[in-house]
Amino acid sequence: MVDLPLSYACPEKNKWQKPHEADEDCRAHRNRNQNSDDTNENKKKGVTGGIIGLINLFLQNPEYLHITKDNMKAAAENNIRKLWNELYPGTEGAGELDTLLAELEEAAKRIEFGPQPEGWYKDAVVYSLYVDLFNHTFDGLSEKLDQIKELGVNCLWLLPILDSPMRDAGFDIRDYRNIRAELLGLPADTPAEEKQRAFRDFLSLARSKGLKVIFDVAMNHTSEEHPWFAEARKGPENPYRDYYIWNRDTNKYKETRLIFKGMVPSNWEKAGDWYFFHRFFEFQPDLNYRNPKVLLEISRILMFWLSQGLDGFRADAIPYIWKEDGTNCENLPKAHTVIKIFRAVLDYVRPNTLLLAEACQPPVEVVKYFGEGDECHAGYHFPLMPMIFKSLAIQDAWSVHHVLHPSITPDIAPDNQWFTFLRLHDELTLEMVTPEDRELIHGHYCKDPRWDFRVGEGISARLSELLDRDHRKIGLAYSIMLTLPGTPIIYYGDEYAKLNDDEFYESYKKETGKDDTRYFVRGPLNWKKIGEELQDPGSLASRVNHLLRNQIRVRHSSRAFGRGGLQWVNPVLSHAKGNEKPVMAYFRSFSDDRILVLNNLSGGKISIENIDGQTPAGTDLLTGEKVTFPAEMQPFEYRWIKI
């Protein structure tokens, strides 16, 4: 991430400025709309990038009715051919391309599900969970779907459920078409067809309750127990050998960084007289997309799950899928070509199926994975999360201001979306912050040395642990996430103020021999305990659950939060000190809907005289109270005021 602690670049002025100067000179950028409803004429006519743009063009505009379904398929086929030839020029991979196109045509004919609503993910509140840790099995999860729905969630993100030895929480996939039998409450030797039928039944139940379902697919690597790798390691002559990356020594890809610093000594692992390449753990060999058979296989896997009724994919670790010697093997141009093919596959078979980029990169790199509307629909905004925690720690809004400035977070097309979060299944990553911010955030929040991850590059702690088990601070953090641009993610258990799970961490460490502190933030939910705590209105679980339900309910009442513009404003305080910004304040607007959000980051009362010299009046959507200025805010208070 770009370090701009004292100034940032104003695109209009093309110069570096102090914060107060930039506030004055860049007012136009305050009004930028990441997902503006005031789009260009092409967008109004339904013209967007990629195959999906052709479909929308056809459906929305009668003047284009001469474009037949065959025309659109022909355009899609030409696009895939063009992309394929960029990766595999000449006759290389020609047979695999013909196979892919034939199988796409067949998949499109047989799909039982129609196109999904355009942009449905913008109106989503996502709930991320491990099935087994949430409630043992899919049957257990099914029993809780009404409870999840009552929270306000309308999309489930299932953390890895595919067959796996579970040495990396399921991200080490052994079989891409097989659900882990224990998650379905079935014996290990249950036929694949029976497991697939059980999962389809779950998808049907979720759909009946208005819940979309997406899950993880690791596209960069497999488990070493995957049948492809079991064959590949037999020797150089094996037909699956080139599904992976092999070398006689470790002198290739030397510029590639270690992702699991402190846990893995090298990106190469010896197997016989050869070494295989891996970006993550040594039991997760990287796939070789230089082999067209690999791209065909992963495309087939996407088609298979579309046929089962899945609504989207979280594309895991996509910045690393293409490797070239002499580079850092991240964000390479041909990685984008591969992603374009994956998107084209989804659009061909079931339009508007979500492709979510898991790219732990600065926003300027992540937006490249949106392409021209022909790659991923959405991506995680990784740097925003630590800046929210920094703002809470120093009780000043500037950190969030500057990370969302267009010099750091570029504008995105109306069809794209950021996915935002406070906590997920991994650590609070500090990988992309400055050394100064890393020291500040790590020092403030790593309250137990055991929580350290990757030698100071992260903190493994649940939200309630980070925020001192204080429901006011937790509510404030959610207020920020739920009202800033993007689609919010709730991590399972956080709605009940779940704490770190020491027992689960220790059991994993003993079982695997890996000191992976991320297992502090995983662990099973204790539903008996949760039920008891929810009966006590004064318990932390009850307070957090109540406030979060209310916030999500209000968020769903206005499309301004998921689709509207963002306009930063300056609250004028009665007793301001210098350039401090203890109140994070902004308007969210969509069509005629305008909402003023005020977040008091400080532990003291604050009196607000006016907002940029104006005294708007409105109703606090969270409490129903009328609000006028001057107004007083209590410590860590937040207000969502409909003007």
DSSP code of residue 287? B
358 is an active site residue: yes
Rounded Cα gap, residues 371 and 394, in angstroms: 36
Rounded Cα gap, residues 421 and 487, in angstroms: 8
Backbone dihedral region of 468: left (phi > 0), alpha (psi from -120 to 50 degrees) or beta? left
Burial class of 546 by CB neighbour count within 10 A (0 to 12, 13 to 18, 19+): middle
The amino acid that residue 464 corresponds to is: S
Q: Which of 132, 216, 269, 316 is catalytic?
A: 316
Rounded Cα gap, residues 393 and 442, in angstroms: 11
Residues 6 or more apart whose CB falls under 8 angstroms from that of 209 comprise 145, 146, 149
Q: Which of 132, 172, 358, 533 is catalytic?
A: 358
Rounded Cα gap, residues 491 and 367, in angstroms: 24
Rounded Cα gap, residues 367 and 359, in angstroms: 10
Question: In this structure, are residues 117 and 352 in contact, taking their beta carbons and an 8 Å threshold?
Answer: yes
Residues 6 or more apart whose CB falls under 8 angstroms from that of 549 comprise 150, 151, 152
Residue found under tokens 């290389």? 92
Rounded Cα gap, residues 382 and 428, in angstroms: 10
Question: In this structure, are residues 302 and 346 in contact, taking their beta carbons and an 8 Å threshold?
Answer: yes
Rounded Cα gap, residues 314 and 377, in angstroms: 11
Structure tokens, 128: 């991320």
- What backbone phi and psi angles, to 5 degrees, belong to 546? -65, -45
Rounded Cα gap, residues 151 and 479, in angstroms: 15
Rounded Cα gap, residues 436 and 394, in angstroms: 13
Structure tokens, 182: 């224990």
Residues 6 or more apart whose CB falls under 8 angstroms from that of 452 comprise 442, 446, 458, 459, 460, 517
Positions marked active-site: 316, 358
